[in-house]
Amino acid sequence: MTVVIGFEGSANKIGVGIVRDGEVLSNPRRTYITPPGQGFLPSETARHHRSVILTVLKEALEEAGLKPADIDCVAYTKGPGMGAPLVTVALVARTVAQLWGKPLLGVNHCIGHIEMGRLITQANNPTVLYVSGGNTQVIAYSERRYRIFGETIDIAVGNCLDRFARVIKISNDPSPGYNIEQMAKKGTQYVELPYTVKGMDVSFSGILSYIEVRCRAFKWELSSALSCIETLFSMLVEITERAMAHCSSQEVLIVGGVGCNLRLQEMMGVMCKERGAKLFATDESFCIDNGAMIAQAGWEMFRSGQTTELSDSWITQRYRTDEVEVTWRD
């Protein structure tokens, strides 16, 4: 049996997870939450992570009932993400690997989401919609790479929702996206917003600018919340369906923090049903950034013979999904 511990901290979540041969043994995490109307800055987020990461590590080992000697490999998020938080996690992971005498593995954050989604849902070879605060991509596997078929050309969908939440000054607890979803359920009027799909790519900055002006001028928060998520998610469903047609795919897997939005899952489910396809998604315990997803991707990589030398264990804020050679899939 192979046991891998994973450290994740690319944004405002800090998590440590342990995986043993496809079984999640533990997955504690903490979230850095800022006051309404404020985002999270890299330096302050890193400070939060430093203050709790050893506590979370202890919780992960205790919950799994393991000791350092039981761990076979230490995985950490190499990128993409915010620089200061990534460095904090990488330093701890490097230190732990050396103290415990274990091999180290730098993991692509996006691939961590995908491999966690594949493990939990048992999806075979899905078209993947990866939606989070920092990333929006439509992905499919081909010839030892996760190929990006379409993506945002400006801001990520999660970032768009976060900034909208700041405009109307709603709580960031438990997350801006969740609170917007609850507001949208109370909305009764759909207002047409800019809908920008360019081939396989999407653009969200125009929608955000339009909403910011409208909210300040007319105070229509509930209707704007409804209109915002309906428009954003329609764009995502469109490019996902186009990628499915291109790949002759009959499976969709939604991953990333925005992926736990039930309205997005509902809209994607309607599209899949019309195509005779299957939709796979997870709840917030695995959609939202967590240590187990890094452990799972690390487990796959380690089992296929990969490790990261200490001299190569840097971080990179811009680490694209299709840069990674996928040595663990046929």
Is 305 annotated for ligand binding?
A: no
Q: How far apart are CA 261 and CA 246, in angstroms?
A: 26
**Alpha-helical segments (H) within the chain:** 42-64, 83-100, 109-121, 157-167, 176-184, 205-218, 221-247, 262-275, 284-287, 291-303
- 151 by DSSP, 3-state: which? strand
| Packed helices 109-121 and 291-303: angle between N→C axes, nearest 10 degrees | 90
The rounded Cα 22 to chain-centroid distance in angstroms is 19
Strand 251-255 and strand 127-131: pairing?
A: parallel
Look at residues 61, 63, 84 and name the one whose alpha carbon lies nearest to residue 74: 61
Q: Is 65 annotated as a binding residue?
A: no
C-alpha torsion sign, points 290, 158, 261, 179 = positive
221 is in an annotated binding site: no
132 is in an annotated binding site: yes
The answer to whether 109 is annotated as binding is yes
134 labelled binding-site residue: yes
192 is in an annotated binding site: no
Consult the annotation and say whether 113 binds a ligand.
yes
CA distances, 248 to each of 251, 276, 327 (Å): 9, 12, 23
**What letters, b where the CB count within 10 A reaches 16 and e where it falls short, cover 30-54?**
bbbbbeeeebbebebbbebbbebbe
Q: What is the three-class DSSP state of 300?
A: helix
Question: What is the C-alpha end-to-end distance of the chain, expressed in Å?
Answer: 22
Q: Smallest Cα–Cα separation from 15: which of 282, 253, 286?
A: 286
Q: Is 284 annotated as a binding residue?
A: no
The answer to whether 289 is annotated as binding is yes
- Residue 257 annotated as binding site: no
The structure tokens listed for 264 are 């997005």
User: Within 10 A of 329 (CB to CB), how many other CB atoms are there?
Assistant: 14
The CB-side HSE value for 202 (13 A sphere, CA atoms) comes to 30
Q: What is the CA radius of gyration of the chain?
A: 19
The verdict on whether residue 154 carries a ligand-binding annotation is: no
The binding site for a divalent metal cation consists of 109, 113, 130, 289
Binding site for substrate, by residue number, is 130-134, 162, 177, 181, 261
Instruction: Give the annotated binding-site residues.
Output: 109, 113, 130-134, 162, 177, 181, 261, 289
